[in-house]
């Protein structure tokens, strides 16, 4: 007995077309160019300034003051800068920061030209430069959701972290070596020019106003408290901030003494200094790779599961050099550290930008980085004490244990459902306006060029859209730590900054 099928029944069913990804837009491209210029300046200074300092002193304590001065502004200004970023035009904050940065670097060139550069002057320059970084980084991270669609936040943050890594780790150091052959003043002159270039890109490439007006004006102190309280009580950001801060402390201490494990005739790896710089570059290679696959992996795995999985893998990788003491094993480990770290940072940056109200992004970022970066010097000091007392292995094993426990803490309480609920609450409180219709290139129409709102969403497309971020990272820090005169790795986790 035969069965007849109609032509319609036999016709193959075509899968539904996948809509093309929304473009990131020209304004984001300009912001990315400014990020590249600013981070290239960081890379040149990070390699060049310590070498300049060596021409003035051989004291380890005095040279260490430069790094301390660069980090100190995060402790002193992080909370205040967050309030200012929420009150002012975020693009203008970056432009002013770049202008001040260019001026202080130009003053360094003048001191060198007149043979008046001293260690005290270098420390002051590092302090002011670090202060500009606080304002510029917080404003840059808070500006990204105003430039790209919510659906492309992961891609935008991934590209940002990739640009930061390439300019800092790959390009900045060779340029520093080249300009040093021309004269000490070039170490500061080239970054000054790059700061000017970044300011011009922001000014010309991102038209409009990016200030979130609020119906109620509050005192700065009250707004600082609001940012800290928001983080402490948030069911997602609170646990992630604590975990990310502890992981950053562990990783900073780890890499503060790692060079002793790798370099020198008496070290475990016995490497030469010039070879160690190549080894450290494998971390940057992994970071770039991770930045380009983070968005696709997030769609496949899910953001919370992938982020915390990367954090756990990152934490466990820290113990590998103790178990397998070879250059090859360390190279693979550093590559995987960079890869998993950046994926986690991209996700955490994008998550934070979606579940924090637009009017609080600066304050929340400032509060997160104050804690996240504030524990990093503590980690370095603690690692030095432990290494002196019990040896380097104790630092590596202890750092691994601390990072693993911190990650497990977040895994126990953070769920995707909580993230979705927090995002829904933000969207409900920040309705979009009808005039924010994007052009084909992803930028809003001319009617929406002015981004002053009364608490509504100012994103150019369907909704909100780092440092990994950024540095970052997880710059918690919401931008990753840059590879300058500071630790050679980015923070393990950038949960909230």
pTM above 0.75, yes or no: no
Task: Note whether 45 and 322 are within 8 A (CB).
Answer: no
pLDDT score, position 261? 84
Q: Cα Rg for the chain, rounded, in angstroms? A: 23
pLDDT score, position 378? 77
CATH 3.10.450.630 describes domain 26-212+219-429: no
pLDDT score, position 31? 93
**DSSP one-letter string for 92-141:** HHHHHHHHHHHHHHHHHHHHHHTT---HHHHHHHHHHHHHHHHHHHHHHH
pLDDT score, position 387? 83
Residue whose C-alpha is closest to residue 321's, from 366, 254, 246: 254
pLDDT score, position 21? 65
Which sign, positive or negative, has the C-alpha torsion 138, 141, 142, 146? positive
- Phi first, then psi, for residue 121 (nearest 5°) are -65, -40
Please state, in angstroms and rounded to a whole number, the distance separating the CA atoms of residues 107 and 215: 41
Residue 268 DSSP label: S
Separate counts of helices (H) and strands (E) for the chain = 17, 0
pLDDT score, position 418? 92
Tokens of 300: 């496949």
pLDDT score, position 362? 75
Tokens of 57: 């002193």
Tens-level pLDDT at each residue, the chain (497 residues): 444 444 444 455 555 554 566 778 899 999 999 999 999 999 889 878 877 887 887 665 576 677 777 877 888 888 888 888 888 899 999 999 999 999 999 999 999 999 999 999 999 999 999 999 999 998 988 888 888 887 887 788 778 878 887 888 778 877 887 888 899 999 999 999 999 999 999 999 998 776 766 555 666 667 778 778 888 888 998 899 999 999 988 987 888 778 778 877 878 888 876 677 677 778 888 888 888 898 889 999 999 999 999 999 999 999 998 899 899 999 999 999 989 998 998 898 888 878 888 777 777 877 888 888 778 777 777 888 888 888 889 989 999 999 999 999 999 999 999 999 988 888 887 655 444 434 444 444 333 333 333 233 222 222 222 223 333 333 333 333 333 333 333 344 443 33
The domain limits of the chain are: 26-212+219-429
pLDDT score, position 141? 84
Tokens of 101: 């940065």
Residue 297: how many CB atoms within 10 A of its CB? Answer: 18
Task: Note whether 197 and 41 are within 8 A (CB).
Answer: no
């Amino acid at each position: 007995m035969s069965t007849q099928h109609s032509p319609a029944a036999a016709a193959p069913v075509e899968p539904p077309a996948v809509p093309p990804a929304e473009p990131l837009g020209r304004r984001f491209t300009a912001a990315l160019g400014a990020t590249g210029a600013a981070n290239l300046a960081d890379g040149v200074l990070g390699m060049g300034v310590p070498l300049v300092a060596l021409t003035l002193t051989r004291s380890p304590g005095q040279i260490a003051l430069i790094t301390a001065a660069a980090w100190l502004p995060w402790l002193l200004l992080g909370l205040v800068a967050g309030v200012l970023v929420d009150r002012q035009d975020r693009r203008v904050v970056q432009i002013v920061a770049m202008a001040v940065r260019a001026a202080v670097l130009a003053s360094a060139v003048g001191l060198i030209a007149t043979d008046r550069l001293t260690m005290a002057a270098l420390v002051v320059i590092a302090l002011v430069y670090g202060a500009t970084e606080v304002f510029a980084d917080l404003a840059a991270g808070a500006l990204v959701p105003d430039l790209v669609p919510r659906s492309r936040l992961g891609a935008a943050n991934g590209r940002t972290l990739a640009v930061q890594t390439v300019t800092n780790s790959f390009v900045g150091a060779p340029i520093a070596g080249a300009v040093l052959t021309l004269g000490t003043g070039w170490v500061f002159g080239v970054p000054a020019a790059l700061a000017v270039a970044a300011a011009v890109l922001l000014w010309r490439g991102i038209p409009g106003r990016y200030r979130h007006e609020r119906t109620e004006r509050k005192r700065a102190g009250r707004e600082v408290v609001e940012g800290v309280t928001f983080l402490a009580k948030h069911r997602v950001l609170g646990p992630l901030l604590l975990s990310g801060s502890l992981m950053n402390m562990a990783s900073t201490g780890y890499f503060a003494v790692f060079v002793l494990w790798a370099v020198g005739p008496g070290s475990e790896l016995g490497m030469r200094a010039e070879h160690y710089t190549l080894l450290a570059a494998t971390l940057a290679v992994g970071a770039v790779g991770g930045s380009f696959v983070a968005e696709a992996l997030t769609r496949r795995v899910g953001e919370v599961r992938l982020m915390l999985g990367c954090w756990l893998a990152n934490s466990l990788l820290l113990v590998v050099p103790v178990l397998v003491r070879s250059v090859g094993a360390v190279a693979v480990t550093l590559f995987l550290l960079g890869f998993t770290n950046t994926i986690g940072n991209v996700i955490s940056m994008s998550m934070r930008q979606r579940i924090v109200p637009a009017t609080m992004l600066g304050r929340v970022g400032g509060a997160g980085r104050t804690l996240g970066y504030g524990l990093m010097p503590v980690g370095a000091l603690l690692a030095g004490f432990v290494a002196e007392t019990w040896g380097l292995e104790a630092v590596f094993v202890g750092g691994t244990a601390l990072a693993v426990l911190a990650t497990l803490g977040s895994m126990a309480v953070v769920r995707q459902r909580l993230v979705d609920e927090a995002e829904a609450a933000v969207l409900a409180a920040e309705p979009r306006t009808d005039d924010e219709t994007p052009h084909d290139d992803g930028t809003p129409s001319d009617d929406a060029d002015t981004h002053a709102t009364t608490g509504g969403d100012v994103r150019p497309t369907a909704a909100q859209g780092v440092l990994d971020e950024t540095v970052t990272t997880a710059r918690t820090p919401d931008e990753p730590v840059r590879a300058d005169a500071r630790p050679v790795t980015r923070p393990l986790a950038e949960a909230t900054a």
